Amino acid sequence: MTRGARALLEPGALLSGALFRDLVSRGGVSTDALAPGTRLGAFRVVRELGRGGMGVVHLAERDDGAFAQQVALKCLVDRDSAASTELFLRERQILAGLRHPNIARLLDGGRADDGLLWFAMEWVEGERIDAHCARAGLGFEDRLRLWLGVAEAVQFAHARLLIHRDIKPGNVLVDADGQPRLLDFGIAALLGEGEGTRAYSPGHASPEQRAGISTIENFRRENVNKTIKGVHDAIVDTKPSVVFSVSPGPDISKNYNSLYADVKKWNQEGWVDVIIPQLYQEIGNQYNDFRQRLAEWTNNSYKAALMIGHGFYKFGDSKMPAAFQSTGELQRQFDLTKLNTKVVGSVMYSAKYLNDNKIGITDKLTSIYISPAVMPFVGRAVAPAPAAATNVRIEGNELKWGSSGNVKSVVYYFSDLKKEGKVLAITSSNSAPAAANGHYAVSTINVDSQESKPSSLVEKK
C-alpha cells in the first residue's frame, strides 16, 4: 500500500462530517472493492489501494478524454436517504471551494444508479510530515516552514467556516516539491451544523473530541493548540536554543473566545517559553487597566516566563489618553512590574519610536535602565551550567575573582545590606573597579543567560 493510501485509511481520516452523518449513523457502508475498469462519473477504477473501517479506497483515473488525472476514490453506499443526499450535494459544493496550495482538494463526487455514494479527492503521492522530517534530517527552519504551510491551510479553511477535526501527521503529506499538503478536509464540520459524528484518531484527538464536544469554537481552538505544540516540538527537537515567545492581547478571555488562542493552556503545558502580553493601555483604563491585566497574567503565566509589553509608541502622541502625555506613566508601570516577582522583563513596542524621544520618553527609559540589566534565563539549558565565581576578593580599589568556561561575570554592589543592590557590571574580565565602600558579590552567566549562585559577600571598607 502506498503512503498516500495509508494516510487516507488511518482511523478517523475519512469523511465523517455533515457530508456523511446520516450515512454513517445508519451503517450503510460497502466494503466490496470495485473491479478494475468500473466507471464512476468521469473516473475509471484502476486498482484497490486499501481498506479502512468505513470503506475501500481506489486509485482511479479520469476516463472522459478531457485530460489525464489520477484521484483517490473512496466509495460508500447510501440506502434511500434524501437527507444524506441533500447534505452531500450542499457540502460537496463548499468543499470544492477549498482551493489552496497546501490543501488536497475534493474534486468530484456523486451517487451511482445502484446507490453507491462516492467522492474523488486529489491524489497526493508523498510522505507523512513526521517521517519526511526524520528521513531528511530537517533542521528547525525547514520544519518550521512546513508547519507554517499547514497553519496557512488551516487558516484558509477557518475563514470559510470549516474546521478540519483530524489534524495529525498522517493527514499531512510532503509532496515531491517539498510542500506540505493537508488531506481529508471532508471530515470537517461546518459552522452551524451542530455536533455531528464523534470521529477521531486515537493519540491525536483533542480532549474535546474524546469527550464528544465538537463545537466549531472548540475545534478551531484545538487546531491552534496543535500548531503551537507543533512549533514547540520542532524547536525542542531541532534547535533547542531558540526561545519560543508569543505576544497575546491583554484580555485573556478575548484571546480565548474571539481569537481561539488558549494561551493559558499553552502556559500550563509549557509549549511557550515566554509570554509577552500587550499591556499597551494606561493604569486605570476603563477596559484594559494595566494594573488589573498585570494581575491576571501573573496568575495565568504558569510555566512560561512573564515579560510585559508596554505601549511605548503611545507616549507623546496627541491622539492618545492624557496618561501617555507624561513620562510618569511609564515609571509607574515599571514600578508595578518591579514589585511583581513573576515578571522577569519588559518589552517596548516598538523600537522604531526610540529615536523620536517624544516628551523625553526615551530619556525616561534610559534613566530606568541606568544600571546594567541581566537577561533572564528562559527556554532550555543548552550550554553547560556556569560554575560559580571563585576566590572573590578586594585588592586595593579593585574587585577580583576567578572563573572558568565560556561565561561572563555579573558584579553586584550593596551600599547598605538592608536596601536593594544594583548591578555594577557584566563583564568578560575577572576584575572590576571597587572604589566605593560597601559589599560586593559576583555571579557568572553562560551563553543561555543561565546564572550561577552568587559568591559570598566581600566588604570594602
139-149 pLDDT, tens digit each: 988 998 998 99
**According to the model, what pLDDT value does residue 65 have?**
82
Give mean pLDDT, residues 281-291. 97
Range of the domain at 403: 390-460
Does the pLDDT at position 259 exceed 90? Answer: yes
Q: Identify which has the larger pLDDT, 54 or 283.
A: 283
**According to the model, what pLDDT value does residue 52 have?**
55
Q: Identify the band that residue 16 occupies on the pLDDT scale cut at 50, 70 and 90.
A: very low
Cell numbers 497574567 correspond to what residue?
297
**According to the model, what pLDDT value does residue 391 have?**
98
Cα–chain-centroid distance for residue 448? 22
Q: Identify the band that residue 14 occupies on the pLDDT scale cut at 50, 70 and 90.
A: very low
Q: Identify which has the larger pLDDT, 47 or 167.
A: 47
Q: Identify which has the larger pLDDT, 322 or 105.
A: 322
Question: Which of 92, 127, 162 is the last residue before a domain boundary?
Answer: 127
Q: Is 179 inside a domain boundary?
A: no
d(CA 280, CA 312): 8
Q: Is 235 inside a domain boundary?
A: no
Domain count, the chain: 3
**According to the model, what pLDDT value does residue 424 have?**
96
Question: Which of 68, 98, 127 is the last residue before a domain boundary?
Answer: 127
**According to the model, what pLDDT value does residue 58 have?**
87
- Specify whether the CB–CB gap between 187 and 157 falls below 8 A: no
**According to the model, what pLDDT value does residue 106 have?**
80
- CATH number for position 103: 3.30.200.20
Whether cis (ω within 30° of 0) applies to the bond prior to 367 is no
Does the pLDDT at position 12 exceed 70? Answer: no
User: What pTM value is reported for the model?
Assistant: 0.65
**According to the model, what pLDDT value does residue 31 have?**
47
- Highest mean pLDDT (candidates 17-21, 77-81, 359-363): 359-363
d(CA 259, CA 242): 25
C-alpha cell at 62: 479520469
Q: Identify the band that residue 29 occupies on the pLDDT scale cut at 50, 70 and 90.
A: very low
First and final C-alpha spacing in the chain: 82
15-24, 251-260, 274-283, range with the lowest pLDDT:
15-24
Percent pLDDT > 70 in the chain is: 80
**According to the model, what pLDDT value does residue 401 have?**
98
Strands 305-310 and 398-402, sheet pairing = unpaired
172-176, 195-199, 256-260, 450-454, range with the lowest pLDDT:
195-199
Q: Is 255 inside a domain boundary?
A: yes
**According to the model, what pLDDT value does residue 216 have?**
72
Q: Is 24 inside a domain boundary?
A: yes
**According to the model, what pLDDT value does residue 8 have?**
37
Question: Which of 338, 370, 402 is the last residue before a domain boundary?
Answer: 370
Looking at residue 215, its amino acid is: T
C-alpha cell at 370: 541606568
- CATH number for position 398: 2.60.40.10
